[in-house]
Amino acid sequence: MNILIKHIADYVGQRVTIKGWLYNSRSSGKIAFLELRDGTGFVQAIASQADLGDDVFSRVTSLTQESSIIVSGNVAAHPKKEGVFELQILSIEVVQLAQEYPITPKEHGPDFLLNNRHLWLRSKRQWAVQRIRDVVIDAIYEYYHQNDFIKIDTPIITPNACEDSTELFAINYFDEGEAFLSQSGQLYLEAAIMSVGRAFDFGPTFRAEKSKTRRHLTEFWMMDAEAAYVEHEESLQIQENMIVHIVQRCLEKCRQEFQILERNTEPLENIRAPFIRLTYTEAIKRLQSLGSDIQFGEDLGNDDEGLLTENEQVPVFIHKWPKAIKPFYMKIDPENPELVLNNDLIGIEGAGEIIGGSQREDDYETLKARIEEMGFKGEEYEWYLDLRKYGSVPHSGFGLGLERVVRWISGVEHIRETIPFPRLINRLKP
Amino acid sequence: MNILIKHIADYVGQRVTIKGWLYNSRSSGKIAFLELRDGTGFVQAIASQADLGDDVFSRVTSLTQESSIIVSGNVAAHPKKEGVFELQILSIEVVQLAQEYPITPKEHGPDFLLNNRHLWLRSKRQWAVQRIRDVVIDAIYEYYHQNDFIKIDTPIITPNACEDSTELFAINYFDEGEAFLSQSGQLYLEAAIMSVGRAFDFGPTFRAEKSKTRRHLTEFWMMDAEAAYVEHEESLQIQENMIVHIVQRCLEKCRQEFQILERNTEPLENIRAPFIRLTYTEAIKRLQSLGSDIQFGEDLGNDDEGLLTENEQVPVFIHKWPKAIKPFYMKIDPENPELVLNNDLIGIEGAGEIIGGSQREDDYETLKARIEEMGFKGEEYEWYLDLRKYGSVPHSGFGLGLERVVRWISGVEHIRETIPFPRLINRLKP
C-alpha cells in the first residue's frame, strides 16, 4: 500500500510503500540507515544486507543524496523513542540516481542558498518553515470563516496609492496610463463590507523600497480584514483572538516542524487573550522611563518595540496614536482630536509589528477635509468618499504581515526564509 | 442581543438587534415592510404605526434606500413560507440617512454599474455572486488540505515568462532590469513539490491581452496544483474530485444565493465523478461528425467546446493533445511521441475551459531539447532543468481559473461580475 510518511503511525506491523527522496544515509557494516523524505515527513529506513542480498544492498549504499526512490518495507515502532517509526526495507526502486547535489550539510553562504532557492527549499529547516507558513495561512482562513467574514479579493492593479506613492511599482496600463501594484486592499475592503458585512483579503502586496536594506522583501503577503459596525475595542479583540487561534493551530499541527527548527515552544504556549494594551501616550512615557530618548509625536523604532515587549508574555497593543503621523483614513478619537483610534500590535520575542489597524473615519466631511489636508485631490478618492454618503457605518479593520508572523512563530532569523521565493531589492531569481 | 441575519432561525420568539442597511421598503397604511440586509443575509422587518407611535413610524417610512439602521424586534417564523423569518420592529436607530442612492431598481448600463462598482456590489445579485465566490475559494482550500497538499505562494514578480511573453505586464525592477507579472506559478510549484510533495498556489495572475475584447479580465485569480509521483490518470482524478467537492459545498452553503440568482441547481446536483474523457483525437472526430470543420492539430474554439458538452451532464476532459500546439513542459505521451499527456477540462452549460493541466516532462534531456526547440535560451530555465537532475520524479499539475468556475456555478453571464473589482483593458477604476 502506498502511504505518506505523515500517516505512518497507522501502519505499524504492515508492509507499505513510500515514494520519496533520499535525504541522508550512513552505513555500518551490513546495515544501512537511510533517511527518507516524501514531502509530508521524514522516516528512517533500515536496509540489511542479509535481507536484500549483496547486489541490492550495494546499490542502496551507493545511492546519492536526493536520489528519488520508491521503498517498500515493514513499519515498526522505534524500540526506544516513543512516537518514532522505522521502515525495515524489503525492496527498493531507484527512480533517478541524483547527480552530485550542490547543497551539502556543510555551511553555505546566503547568496549561494538564495541562488539555489529551488533546491534549498528541500532542506529540513526550509521544509519546516514552509509547512508552518501553510498552517498559519490555513488558520487565518479558518478563523475568518468561523467568524462570518468572507474572502473578497481586492485588486492588485490600482490607479492610486493607499499609502506613500514613492514606494510603488508602476506598470503601463493600455490607454489608461500608469497604474500601480497594490500596497493594501484596505480601501476596497471598506467598500466590500458595506455589501457583505465582514470581509478579508489575503494576497501579495508590493513595496519598491529603494532605500531599504537587502533584507526587506519587495513582494510579501498581507491579510487585511474589515468589519462593518465594529468599533475600536471590538477590533482589538478580533485581532488578539485571531493571533491566539493561529498560534494554537501551529502548536497542534507543527510539533515536528518546531523540533526541526529547535524552536522553544514555551513562549507560544503562553499566548492567550487579552493582550497587553498601552496607549501611545503610555508607551512613550514607559519608553522614556526605560531610558529611550523618544519624544511624543515620533514613530517607534525597533529598539523601542523591543523595550516594550521584552518582559512580556503576550503581544502588546499600542493604540491611539497622534493623528499627525498616521494616514487620513483613521478615525479621530472622540476623546482627543489630536489622536486617532488606531493600533499597532507588537509581537514578543523580537517579532516587531505584526498588525496595524484602526477604526476608519466614517464621517463624510471629516474624511474629505483630512484627504485635502494630505494634499490629495478629491477626485481619486471620490468613490471612497461615496461610502460615507450612502449608509455610512462605524467600521474597523487591520492588516497582518504574513511573513512577519511566520518568522515569529517559526523562530527563524531572516524574513527571506519565510517566503518560498523571496524577492529582494537585488534578487529577482529564481 | 446583537445577531447576524444568517443566524436568525435560532432566535424565533426572542428579541434581537440587527445592524445593517435598508435595502428596500414599502408601506401600506399603518404598516411598513422594510427589507433589511446586514451582509450575511436579508430579512423582512415589519413596522407598525400602532406599536411604534406616529413619530417613529413616520421616520421609518421616510427612510431612504441604503440608510444604515439598527433595528430591534421580535423574531417570528413567516406564517406561510417555511424557512423564512420576519422581524416585528420594536425600536429603530438611524445611523445615517443615506443620500439619494444612484443605483435604483431600474435598469442601468454596464458602464454606469462598473463606474459604481463600489456601490453595485451591494445589489442582491452581486452580493450573491461574491458569497458564492467565497464558498468556492474556501472549498478549494478545504479540498487541498484534506488531500495533503500545502499552500506554496509562488512569486508574482518573475524574470521570465511561463507562456507567451507578448501578453505580459512589465515593471522596472531596480538594477535587475525588466521584470514581469506572473501568468502562472506552475514552474515554481514544480520546484516546491520536490520539497513538500504536494502543493497548490492561489493568487492573482495577469494578462495584458491587448488584442482581446473588453470582456476579458486583465487580472484574475488562478489556483495551480502540483503533485510529485502523480501521473496523468491520477491527476484527472484529483481534478474531477476537486470540482465535485466545490460543487457540493456550493449546493450545501449557497441555497439562498442560488435563489437570488434564479440559478437552476439541477445541473449542479448531477455533477459527480467520473467525468467524461475524450482524447483529443476522439474529440476532433466527434466534432467533425457533428459538422464542425475543425482539423486535427487545431485548437478548439468556443463553439467546439459547446458542441462537445451540450448533451452532457458532467464536465468533459479532452486529453492527449498534439505536442505541436502545447507548451514545452508537457510530458510526451510514451504511446505516441506526437502527443502530450495533458488535459483540458470543459465545463457544461457553456462554462468553457475551467482547468488546463498535464503531466510534466521529467526527463532532463527531453526537456532541454524541447526548451531549445521553442527558441528559449537554456539559461533562464536552468533552475527548472535542475529539478530533473536531482531526484527527478514523475509529476503532474493543473491550473483552475477561479472566475470561470464562479461564472459557471453562479450562472451569471459576464465574467466581470465574478470578481469584486474587475480590471478590463479599458477599466482600471474604481
Per-residue model confidence as pLDDT tens digits over B40-86:
999 999 999 999 999 999 999 999 999 999 999 999 999 999 989 99
A251 membership: H or E segment, kind and range? helix A232-253
Answer whether residue B262 shows pLDDT above 60: yes
Answer whether residue A425 shows pLDDT above 70: yes
Which residues, 6 or more positions from B102, have their beta carbon under 8 angstroms from its beta carbon? B116, B119
The closest CB to that of A155, out of B153, B158, B421, belongs to: B421
Interface test with B, best of A63, A70, A124, A156 (most B CBs within 10 A): A156
Per-residue model confidence as pLDDT tens digits over B351-409:
999 999 999 999 999 999 999 988 877 678 999 999 999 999 999 999 999 999 999 99
Answer whether residue B90 shows pLDDT above 60: yes
Cross-chain Cβ contact B221/A153 below 8 Å = yes
The closest CB to that of A121, out of B96, B191, B384, belongs to: B191
Q: How many Cβ pairs closer than 8 A exist between chain A and B?
A: 259
Confidence at residue A402, expressed as pLDDT on a 0 to 100 scale: 98
DSSP 8-state symbol, A249:
H
The closest CB to that of A174, out of B21, B150, B425, belongs to: B425
Cross-chain Cβ contact A171/B169 below 8 Å = yes
Cross-chain Cβ contact B138/A157 below 8 Å = no
Cross-chain Cβ contact B390/A134 below 8 Å = no
Per-residue model confidence as pLDDT tens digits over B161-211:
555 667 899 999 999 889 999 999 999 999 999 999 999 999 999 999 876
The closest CB to that of B423, out of A6, A66, A157, belongs to: A157
Average pLDDT over residues A207-223: 85
Confidence at residue A327, expressed as pLDDT on a 0 to 100 scale: 94
For A30, half-sphere exposure in the C-beta direction (CA atoms, 13 angstrom radius) is 7
Cross-chain Cβ contact B194/A421 below 8 Å = no
Burial class (CB in 10 A: 0-12, 13-18, 19+), B231: middle
Residue A51 three-state SS = helix
Per-residue model confidence as pLDDT tens digits over A272-326:
999 999 999 999 999 999 999 999 999 999 999 999 999 999 999 999 999 999 9
**Burial track A148-163 (b if 16+ CB lie within 10 A, e otherwise):** bbbbbbbbbbbebbbe
Confidence at residue B161, expressed as pLDDT on a 0 to 100 scale: 56
Strands B150-151 and B395-401: unpaired
Interface test with B, best of A64, A66, A118 (most B CBs within 10 A): A118
How high is the mean pLDDT of chain B?
Answer: 95
> In terms of Cα–Cα distance, which of B408, B396, B406, B264 is closest to B343?
B396
Cross-chain Cβ contact A206/B67 below 8 Å = no
How high is the mean pLDDT of chain A?
Answer: 95
Chain position carrying cell 447576524: B4
Cross-chain Cβ contact B425/A6 below 8 Å = no
Burial class (CB in 10 A: 0-12, 13-18, 19+), A24: middle
> How many whole angstroms separate alpha carbon A23 and alpha carbon A66?
6
Residues of chain A with C-beta less than 8 angstroms from the C-beta of B39: 193, 195-198, 228
Residues of chain B with C-beta less than 8 angstroms from the C-beta of A6: 148
> How many whole angstroms separate alpha carbon B177 and alpha carbon B398?
30
For A305, half-sphere exposure in the C-beta direction (CA atoms, 13 angstrom radius) is 17
Confidence at residue A300, expressed as pLDDT on a 0 to 100 scale: 96
Which residues, 6 or more positions from A221, have their beta carbon under 8 angstroms from its beta carbon? A202, A203, A204, A205, A401, A402, A403, A419, B153
> In terms of Cα–Cα distance, which of A321, A323, A402 is closest to A369?
A323
Cross-chain Cβ contact B203/A198 below 8 Å = no
Answer whether residue A170 shows pLDDT above 90: yes
Residues of chain B with C-beta less than 8 angstroms from the C-beta of A419: 153
Domains of chain A: 5-96 (2.40.50.140), 117-417 (3.30.930.10)
Cross-chain Cβ contact B174/A131 below 8 Å = no
Cross-chain Cβ contact A428/B196 below 8 Å = no
Confidence at residue B167, expressed as pLDDT on a 0 to 100 scale: 87
Cross-chain Cβ contact B228/A19 below 8 Å = yes
Closest-CA residue of chain A to B380? A430
Strands B178-181 and B316-319: unpaired
Residue A82 burial (CB count, 10 A)? 6
